[in-house]
Chains A and B, each alone.
Chain A
Amino acid sequence: MSTARTRLAGVTGHRLFWPLVMLVVLLAANTIYRPSFLSVELKNGHLYGSLIDIVRLSAPLILVALGMSLVIATGGIDLSVGSVAAVSGAIACLYISEQPDQNSLGAVLTAVAIAFGIALVLGAWNGILVAGIGIQPIIATLILMVAGRGLAQLVTSGQIITINSEPYKTIGVGHLLTLPFAIIIALAVTLVVAVLTRRTALGMIIEAVGGNAEASRLAGVRSRRITFLVYVVSAACAAVAGFMMTANVSSADGNAVGLWVELDAILAVVIGGTSLVGGRFYLSGTIVGALIIQTLTTSVYAMNIDPQTALLFKAVVVIAVCLIQAPAFRARFRRRQAPGAPPVAPVEKQKEQVPA
């Protein structure tokens, strides 16, 4: 066989190949609809264009999804991320709004620190329920999903707190070196999480816990501690996302911030190739997943799809993404094209087992 062919097979076989193809297809569709879609110009020293918007708007989702990846890798799930984002954003805004000088950097840093601290406490709460008491993750985090939303509204008294703080606003809409600051934060957090998991042994240990918790325990892994940790990390990521979302509009809306973001985050993780059963996780896949989701949302607006049918459009794209990504689906197609090719074995991935 020619080397070109094997190289091609290597590229198409890569996990990120099909999600990236989907992303490109979506962008291409937009460009066909409106050729200027891809154009990026420099306005007031900032890059400006739909592409930049997509990346900037996906920053909070990327953050939440990163934390979610780790939680899902342990075989858990965190429904509370949206509420945690709302709580932390609300607390930060409340604190800033009470300062005499909202533009003081010190005040903003204090606000962010306080809110971040509280988010860590909320993450620890989730961690204790799951790892300490042994409540099923979905229900454990559902508690905070419901109560956290109330907490956020309690903080804002059910109103929208509007602030006027340049330093805080920077988190959401500022620029650094022509790039939106939000993108830089997302990159930085991604880097931190990647280093934390892939340069240390944390990633492997998380995957071991998610792949087979009992075996990991018997191998001396402190699985509870790890499980606890991922919920804290997830809450921390959600908190930063909360700052971004509130800074984006310079206001905290306890009801709307992060609403349904947990579903998007889980979807991003799954599109990225991580299994909900736990085990292997792929941060790069998660990021591509988040970009796909945001591109999809932006496409609806950019292509002016009737809101009444927008959901149908989303459904079609989501199902297309997962079909194209599924090896079983592609194999079926290929077989039809090239009869005689090997049928795929229906080997389902299962937790805690090693078929001989």
Chain B
Amino acid sequence: MSQRHPVLTMTAISKIFPGVRALDGVDFRLFPGEVHALMGENGAGKSTLIKVLTGVYGTDAGTITLDGQQVSFAGPMQATAAGVSTVYQEVNLLPNLSVAENIFIGREPRRLGSVNWREMRRRAQELLARIDLHIDVTELLGSYSLAVQQMVAIARAIDVNARVLILDEPTSSLDADEVAQLMRIMRQLRDDGIAIVFVTHFLDQVYGIADRITVLRNGRLVGEYPTAELPQIALVEKMIGHELDALERLDSETDRDRAAIAAGEPFVAADGLGRSGSVAPFSLTIHAGEVVGLAGLLGSGRTEVARLFFGADRADQGRLTVDGAPAAIRNPVAAIDRGVAFCSENRRTEGLVGELSVRENIILAMQAARGWLRPVPRRKQDELVERYIKALSIRPADPDMPVRNLSGGNQQKVLLARWLITEPRLLILDEPTRGIDIGAKTEIQRLVAQLSDGGMAVLFISAELEEVLRLSHKVVVMRDRRLVAQLDNDDTLDADRVMRAIASGAAQEGLEKV
């Protein structure tokens, strides 16, 4: 393999942000026809390396050669023109344009110089069909869920005739099925001789497809390895930089006494709650100390359910009781007053305020609940922020850094910290582990378990069925925007059964029917 010429080489790349050395002499090689995984903890410098390559950032040192020619792109436009097609980490699309346009903008099919809309729609439909996405391509992109948007971004990238395809955490909000689709396409492209850079925190995906792995740690290169020669344990050790003792399995969590939990009064109970055009009426109870997992396919309406509980959207049918008393949760303020917290899936548009510092983002919800006249005392702020920066290992550990300068995973942790410090009674987590590295992920899972032990109710949504199963006492299955089953997470429940429930959409297995 090393006999072939790399299509891309990056040598001794350094990138310094004010106060942060994001990349320090990193080398990277990419060969045609391979899938090359770029691995590292949150903040290791993966996204920065990619942005340096495509010219979003200038380098402070180092050279880049593409096809033996030294290049220095002034921006993604030039990179794209040179055959480097990229899906950046956050979904960077245009919510105000249609899906079709998002795929084709910049290279729209034209006739006599003017954009050929009909052709564009047709080709968009075709392309999305290839990745098995059947949506109305004339609709505005912004009206679709994050996962759909991620698929669209992928579709856009793979349609270009590129020699190098870069995918920065493309799978962070995708379900198993979509991931499988993506893998299939990646294989196809690889076989066509395209070089693919693949960033992810899912080890099984890496071992499922990657030919080689480059590991970064703290902005430095750890090494480059053929996948076959690097066992999983070794990979993780290389990423975190020490022995893997902190990562013991979390399996005791679901052993807690489900009966005891269920015997108590439910904390919240939805009775026929629904919103026309969004979620069909459903009933669901969540007890104190209970973790309820929501499973379902992309766009099945899990996020919408969460938003109804939180008052982010207003329910137009049914009732909600909190602590046995009817509660009209019409807006987030009302929900927060009753001890409900909602960590939304789209940290960029619905979560963080990019310009504000890590500290301010963390205390925002707490402050909002206290009202602006009673500021959280500085000492308390410092103490809380300090604690959660440590607990979630947010890096860099600088509370005054604007949050937009943090890496994606670290941003996610900040968002989580915001809600944890409010000590809610019901914590709704919508994809809380999106883009988070394995170390931190285990940490978060443990935290959730611990909190629920302490009596907190948790509604847990994740694209990873594994995770849902591991944490929840009860798994609620959604399909086509209706709640189709509630499964107790006893010894008999496994991913397979949940998948079957999703697929059949019915409760043939004697499960509680809704």
Contact = CB atoms under 8 A, between A and B. Distances in A.
A353 B353 contact: no
Contacts of A356: 47, 88-90, 168, 407-408, 411, 435
Contacts of B372: 200-202, 205, 226
Contact of B16 (A207, A212, A226, A342): A342
Contacts of B75: 346
Contacts of A354: 90, 347-348, 352, 354, 403-404, 406, 411
B427 to A, nearest CB: 14
B183 interface: no
How many chain A residues sit at the interface, stated as a range, is 20 to 34
B496 interface: no
Interface in B351-404: 351-356, 360, 364-365, 367-370, 372-376, 403-404
A215 interface: yes
B341 to A, nearest CB: 9
Contact of A220 (B88, B333, B352): B333
Given A345-B57, A355-B90, A215 B368 contact: no
A324 to B, nearest CB: 20
Given A352-B349, A356-B408, A204 B356 contact: yes
Contacts, number: 120
Given A200-B373, A280-B355, A342-B58, A214 B407 contact: no
A354 B435 CA distance: 14
Interface of A: 199-202, 204-205, 207-208, 211-212, 214-222, 226, 279-280, 342-346, 349, 352-356
B368 A221 contact: yes
B266 interface: no
Contacts of A280: 355-356
Contacts of A212: 349, 352-354
Given A211-B355, A219-B368, A220-B333, A344 B58 contact: yes
Given A204-B356, A215-B351, A352-B348, 17 more contacts: A204-B367, A207-B355, A211-B353, A211-B354, A212-B353, A218-B312, A218-B351, A219-B365, A220-B369, A221-B368, A279-B353, A342-B16, A343-B58, A346-B75, A354-B406, A355-B88, A356-B90
Given A207-B355, A208-B356, A342-B60, A220 B368 contact: yes
Interface in B33-88: 47, 56-58, 60, 75, 88
Given A204-B367, A342-B60, A214 B354 contact: no
Given A199-B375, A354-B411, A218 B356 contact: no
Contact of B367 (A199, A201, A343): A201
A208 B333 contact: no
A216 B373 CA distance: 17
A275 to B, nearest CB: 9
Nearest to B95: A352
18 contacts: A207-B356, A212-B354, A214-B349, A216-B353, A218-B310, A218-B342, A218-B351, A219-B418, A226-B372, A342-B16, A342-B58, A345-B58, A354-B347, A354-B354, A354-B404, A355-B354, A356-B168, A356-B435
B53 to A, nearest CB: 13
Contact of B375 (A201, A207, A221): A201
Closest 10 CB pairs of A and B: A356-B408, A211-B353, A354-B354, A343-B58, A356-B89, A220-B368, A220-B336, A201-B375, A202-B372, A221-B368
B359 to A, nearest CB: 10
A209 to B, nearest CB: 9
Nearest to A221: B368
Contacts of A222: 333, 368
